[in-house]
Each structure stands twice: as C-alpha cells, then as structure tokens.
Chain A
Amino acid sequence: MEFTFSEDQQMLQEAVREFLAGECTPDVVRGLWDSETGRSPELWAQLAELGIPGLRVPEDDGGLGMDERDLVLVLEETGRAALAEPVIATAAVGVPLLTELREAGQAELAGRWLGAVASGKARLAVGHARSPFVADAHVADLLLLPDGDDLHAVEAASAGLTAQPSNDQSQRLFSVDWSPSAATRVAEGSEGAALQKAAFDRGALACAAQQLGVGQQLIDMGALYATQRQQFGVAIGSFQAVKHRLANAQVKVEYARAVVYRAAHSVATGQPERSVDVSMAKVGAGEAALFAAKEALQVHGAIGYTYEQDLHVWMKRAWSLDLAFGTGAWHRARVADAVIDGTEAVRAFGYCAPPN
C-alpha cells in the first residue's frame, strides 16, 4: 500500500507546471481565443518535446510508455494553467484507445498513428455516445468515432465539420458529418462497446484530473485577491465570512484529490471497479471545481464578474469540463445505480477488502 507518487512522477509534474507557468499564461490562453483554431502549433510542439502527447504511447512507438498514474498529475497541471490544447482527446483518450485497438487486431492503424502522435505530428479526436459533439475535431488528423457498438477510425479529410460555438472559448466543439463503412470500422460488437467504454472512462478521468487543477487555481486566485483587496481598512481575507468560503472550497478540492488518484490507479491497473471509481472522481472533482468557481467569484465581487479579469477563464473551464465525458449528474447516477442496484462492480476502499 503506497498511496504516494514517485519522485519521477512529481518531477514530471513540476516540469509541466514550470513550463506552463511560462508558456501558457492567461494572456496566451486569451490570445488563442481570438485565433481561428484556438490552438497553438508552437505550444503543441513544445508539449511534444516534454513528452506529453506520447506519455501513454509505448516506448517502442517512440513514447514514454507511462500510464494514468503518471498522466494524472500532468493533467492536473494543464487544468491549473487552463491549457486549451487537445491533451485529453489525444494523450489521455486517443492514445490508449489506439494501443487497445492494436491488441484487437488493428496493428497497422496503431503503428501508423502512435509514433506520429508521440512526435507531435498528429493529433487525435475521440467521439463518445454521451455527447453529440466532438471536441477539437478541427485540429485532429484522425477521429475515432462510435457508431452504435462499432468503432471507426476516420481520417480528417473524410469528416465534415460544423463548428458549435460554446461558452468556454478554450473549448472547440464540432458536429461531425461522416459515413461509417467497412473500411473505417476498426472494432465492432461487444469488443467495440468495451473499447468505447474504456475510452469514455479515460476521458472522464482526465476531466476530473484537470478539474483538480482548475479548482485549486480558482481558490488560489480567490485567496490572493482576498489578501490584496482592502475594505474597511483591512484585507477582506481577514473577515471570517470570506475565509470560510475559501476554506469550504479547499475542503472539497482536497477530498476530491485522492478519489481522482485512486481512479487513475484503477484505470491503470484494470480494476473491475474502474468505471465507478472514475465516476466518483468526475463527480468529486467536478463539484469541487464548480463550487470553487462560485466562491472565488463571490470573493472577487464585481471585478470577478468582468471580462477583463482572468477569473472567468477558469470558471468557464470548470463549467465545460463538468459537461465533458458525461456530465456530473450522469456520473452521479452511474454511482447510484452501482452502489444501490449493483449495475456495476463497486467496492469500498479498504473496508472489508477481500484478500488479494
């Protein structure tokens, strides 16, 4: 039992944090909002140099060969920096899906794309049944899309895109017009359904990890503002009414953290309870970030309500991540169904744990 991260994992997190603090400032994020794609090829190339897109790519394909336990801290940092690049679709969901497709007989497909992703040359988009939209389809070279239980790999040229402008300008959503065919089909039936579910769970886990970073950033912004802003001759952060709002948000973020890390462990090690563990992570981190957004806004007062102030960059991330890869409400219902009706495997951690 070691519920801690290794030194290497923490060093990677630190490296990503430092990189993003320098290269993904709020000005950069907001600057990209006004660009056509909202995405930065330069930033993506630098992320590739750090190994982020290929973190889950096997070493034989030019990646780092790591798993979700390594990725979760990296994703937390991307949330903290409100990074808009398609890290979730490409690194957290698309890559593992391609490696699983390799085991399902799609060696050629996996071999062709995994190396290209690791080197930063290719990006992926992944659709799922819980949303009619596909995030970052416009910059994806390959789209992995569901059609019933089947799964299809569709190259960018074969997909017609309709942009669906959304509230979080860091997010780019599209409706995809495409035609499933035997040529695009890469998995079918129960195998396709299982791959889709695993991909969906990985997406939800990645959102939860980003929400941890988003939530903490919102609290830290609130705490900084409350320390600087003076009223009645003192910093407003000296008032208990202000302190307790931020303390409550910190409790929520802190108690989501271990839930997210456990879900990363469950996914990485293929635990039978991983779907429910992921749902708990999505609910916990999502609600913590949404709560932190409200409290940070209230602590900021009117200035936090302005477009000029950066707070809404993270508030909008909290809102959009809560809707991505299954809404918080949907995941809560999945937990309830599992816990009460036994629809999925669920286990109380530690408590009455069966022998290994």
Chain B
Amino acid sequence: MDLTYSPENEAFRQEARDWLDSHVPAEPLASFDTPEGFEAHRQWEHTLNEGGWAMVPWPKEYGGRGANLLEWLIFEEEYYRAGAPGRVNQNGIFLLGPTIMEYGSPEQKARFLPSMASSEEVWAQGWSEPNAGSDMANIQATAIADGDDYVINGQKTWASRGAYAHWLFGMFRTDPESSRHKGLTFVLVPLDTPGITVRPIEKINGKKAFAEVFFDDARVPMENRLGEEGQGWSVAMATAGFERGLMLRSPARFQNTARKLVDLYRSAVASGAFVDSTLRDTVARCFMDAEAYALNTYQTVSRLMAGDKIGAEASLNKIFWSELDIRMHEAALSLLDARAELKPNAPAAGDVDDWLDGYIFSLAGPIYAGTNEIQRNIIAERILGLPRK
C-alpha cells in the first residue's frame, strides 16, 4: 500500500491544472437545460476537445488521452477545483462512447465517435418507458425489421438531455413475441427522424432536463444497431458498470461540495448569523463522508488497475454518493437560513450560490440510474446472498 502519487501523476495533474486555469470560463455558464446554456456547454465541449481534454479516458486511437482510471480521478479533481462547467454530452462520452468502442463496427466508430467527442452531436439516454422504470426488462417499444430499416413504435421517457439532444440511444424490442431480457436490441436513433416527437419535460425547477420521446413508424437504418439483434440487454449492461459510474460521479465532485460547505459554515459563523447547533457536526460528517467516498473509489480503482473485477459493489457506491449529496445540500440550505429560498439573481441573494439548484438536482440522485431501493436489493441478493423470493 502506497498512497502517494508518482511524479508522472503529479506532472499529469499539473498539465491538467495549467490548461484548465487558462481555459475555464470566468463566469459560470447558463444551465445546459436551457437552449442558450445547452449551446454554451457544447461550445465548452468543443474547447475541451480542441485542447485534448474532452475524452480523457478514451483510448488514443479514438482521439482520447488514453488516461487510466487513476489519471481520470486526478483530472476530475482538477476539473472540479477549477470550477469547470458540467459535461453536457456525458451520456455520449462516458456511457455510449465506451460501448461503441466495445460493440461497434469500424464504420460505426468512425461515424459516431468523432462527432461525439466534439459534441457536434449530443446524446440522450432512452432507457425508461412509462411501464419500464425500475422494471427495465419490461420494455415495450418495438423496432421491427423492414428491409434495411427498423420501424420503431412506442414511447421512451425521462430521456436525460432529450429536450435538446440530437441522438438517442436505447433498447427496443426487435422480437415482439419476446419478453423480459430477451429479444431486445440496442439502437442508435437520430431524433430528427420523421415519426419521432420529442416532448420536453420540465423538472421541478422548471428546466427542461429530460423528455418524452414518441415513436410513430419512425424508420431507422439497421446499420444503427449496436451489437447483435437480441443482445441489447448485454450491450446495455456494459454501460452500467462501476467504471462508467465513476465517469459520471467521481469523488472530486462531492469533495468539492464538502469543501464549499465548510466554507459556507465558516462564513455563516463569522457573520454572526443564526447557526443551528447541530450543523457543525453535520458539516464535519459531510466532509468525512466525502473523504470516505474518495478513499473507497481510490481503493476500487487500485483493485481494477491490478486486474480485479468489480461486480455488485457498484450498487454500494450509488447509494452512498446520492444520499451524501442530499445531506450536503440540506446542510447548506440550513446555513443559508431565510436566504435558502432565494434565486441567485435575487438582490439579497449574497452567497446563496447554486445550493438551491444543487439541492433540487441532488433529490434526483436516489431515483435515476437505478433507484436506491433497487440498489439495496442488489446488495442484499448478490453481496449478502439473501434469497430473491
């Protein structure tokens, strides 16, 4: 056990820090769930890509930096330290991209990866349906072969980035007689295809974070199929493992929030504001939990780099960060006292920052990417060996 960074790690960190320091926009961008914010974030992705920092963990042959998982953690630490913008195309770069590398044909790789890297094309996820949420295998939308096309019918919902994205990836039932995990196929769908209607859904803060997508005889060429017909479930599961989760929620994100929370606590005390006497303990616990998340992640990354496989442990991870994120934002809102209600543009907002928006976003954490109830079932059944029925 050696918990120090090598000179190469430090050089990588310094290189990332230098680049970010000279490129990160001074002012925060508008939310990428607004039309102007979406475009501003695409522009930022373009800048990142020009600098060679858009797809840090992608292999060099696909235009990435070829970073290992440890370097990814370091990059993320620097990314959050620099206060850089959210990743508008994370569904593409971190979920679909590696899946295309694993399952895609050479033509598909050439067609989709470069435009994904530059965010010329932004991707939405199309997993859930009205009757396939936690019960994902209950997918009913069909993609029926007809000549060289699939004809798609049905509905997807809660498609993250769906309101503004150009493409959607998801699973469709290519065998209408099939059920559950069988007969599903992974298809890449251009959202401007005739027969597709995208209806944005506003989340509780009024922003268009996701969308319903209706398919009415929408024809998509068969060459947009990823992997074999009927193998959609396996392809989809490859996008859901620990490493992909790490790409979406690396520890620096939470350590950064914890650091901001400590600062907020200190300034609340210094200003003589009312500070609930339990908050000191809460703030310290949040700091400790963010540390625990980072340490656990570094340990897991070390194991992966040493050749170990990670299975159901990823479920522990999802529960831990999502619930920590809520606790941190709740504590921050308590510290803001009466100002916790204020939008950042309110004249008396002061240092309310984006805590309120962050809180609202954190509440989605235990729901998306597999509810925490489902994760607890997975832990109980696959780690602790409790019976399914």
Contacts and interface: CB of A to CB of B under 8 A. Distances in A.
Contacts of B284: 332, 335-336, 339-340
What DSSP secondary structure best describes chain B's contact surface? helix
B240 to A, nearest CB: 18
B250 to A, nearest CB: 10
A242 B288 contact: no
Interface in B1-56: 1-7, 9-10, 13-14
A280 B5 contact: no
B5 A219 contact: no
Interface string B376-389: 11011101111111
Contact of A244 (B80, B373, B383): B373
Interface in A235-269: 235, 237-238, 240, 242-244, 246-248, 250-251, 254-259, 261-262, 264-265
A280 B286 CA distance: 11
Task: Tell me whether chain A's interface is mostly helix, strand or loop, or mixed.
Answer: helix
A352 interface: yes
Given A251-B316, A356-B7, 12 more contacts: A1-B6, A2-B302, A3-B3, A240-B373, A243-B381, A244-B377, A254-B313, A258-B296, A259-B291, A265-B1, A335-B284, A349-B298
A340 B302 contact: no
Interface in B185-233: none
Contacts of B296: 254-255, 257-258
A259 B301 CA distance: 15
A184 to B, nearest CB: 37
A350 B77 contact: yes
Nearest to A237: B386
Interface in B272-315: 280-281, 283-285, 287-296, 298-299, 301-303, 306, 313
A238 B373 CA distance: 14
25 contacts: A1-B4, A1-B298, A3-B295, A4-B303, A4-B306, A223-B380, A223-B385, A242-B386, A243-B380, A243-B381, A246-B384, A247-B376, A255-B296, A255-B316, A261-B299, A262-B3, A336-B281, A340-B280, A340-B284, A348-B290, A349-B255, A350-B73, A350-B74, A353-B5, A355-B14
Contacts of B103: none
A109 interface: no
Contacts of A257: 296, 299
A219 B3 contact: no
A332 to B, nearest CB: 6
Chain A interface: which size bin? 35 or more
Complex A-B, nearest 9 residue pairs according to Cβ-Cβ distance, in ascending order: A243-B380, A336-B284, A258-B295, A237-B386, A3-B302, A247-B379, A247-B376, A351-B255, A223-B384
Q: Determine which residue in B73, B295, B319 has the highest number of CB atoms from chain A within 10 A of its CB, and name it.
A: B295
Contacts of A2: 1-3, 302, 306
A238 B387 contact: yes
Interface of A: 1-6, 69, 219-220, 223, 226-227, 234-235, 237-238, 240, 242-244, 246-248, 250-251, 254-259, 261-262, 264-265, 280, 283-284, 332, 335-336, 339-340, 348-353, 355-356
A255 B320 CA distance: 8
B3 A352 contact: no
B239 interface: no
Contacts of A339: 262, 283-284, 287
Nearest to B266: A340
Contacts of A349: 3, 255, 291, 294-295, 298
Contacts of A350: 73-74, 77, 251-252, 255, 294, 298
